[in-house]
């Protein structure tokens, strides 16, 4: 229902009411967006996993290549020795892609374990320089 504005005071009250209505509408929109984000979290997580198994992370070529060689040998020659050619092609590809993302996420721990193997420490911890290329402090 439209109110008739007859004076400046009526105009001020109407402006104040409209400002309050605008703030209420902004809060409703923010709540709706928060609900949508909460509802889309499972889909977002599924898309992230799908992305990890369909694309490879190329940020650590040495670690990734070593893992790929081990995966090829273990999966193709041992685990999937009697499987069909499609299985021999797809399973290692998915495992390689996912492992490249795992390596990227746990790079510092992996590098530390590799250095501890060659340093001869008995406690399994090697002192790793923080200047490893691509490391994040």
Q: Is the pLDDT of residue 128 over 60?
A: no
CA distance 96 to 76: 12
CA distance 100 to 52: 8
DSSP tag of 132: -
pLDDT digits (tens, 9 = 90+) for 47-82: 999 999 999 988 888 889 999 999 999 998 889 888
CA distance 77 to 88: 9
**Is 0.75 surpassed by the pTM of this model?**
no
């Amino acid at each position: 229902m439209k109110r008739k504005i007859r004076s400046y005071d009526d105009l001020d009250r109407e402006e104040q009411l409209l400002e309050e209505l605008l703030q209420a509408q902004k809060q409703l929109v923010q709540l709706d967006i928060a609900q949508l984000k909460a509802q889309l979290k499972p889909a977002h997580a599924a898309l992230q996993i799908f992305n990890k198994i369909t694309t490879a992370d190329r940020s650590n070529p040495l670690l990734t290549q070593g893992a790929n060689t081990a995966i090829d040998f273990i999966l193709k020659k041992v685990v999937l020795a009697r499987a069909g050619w499609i299985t021999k092609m797809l399973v290692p590809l998915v495992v390689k892609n996912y492992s490249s993302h795992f390596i990227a996420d746990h790079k510092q721990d992996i590098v530390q374990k590799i250095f501890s193997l060659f340093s001869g420490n008995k406690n399994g911890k090697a002192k790793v320089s923080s200047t490893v290329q691509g490391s994040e402090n």
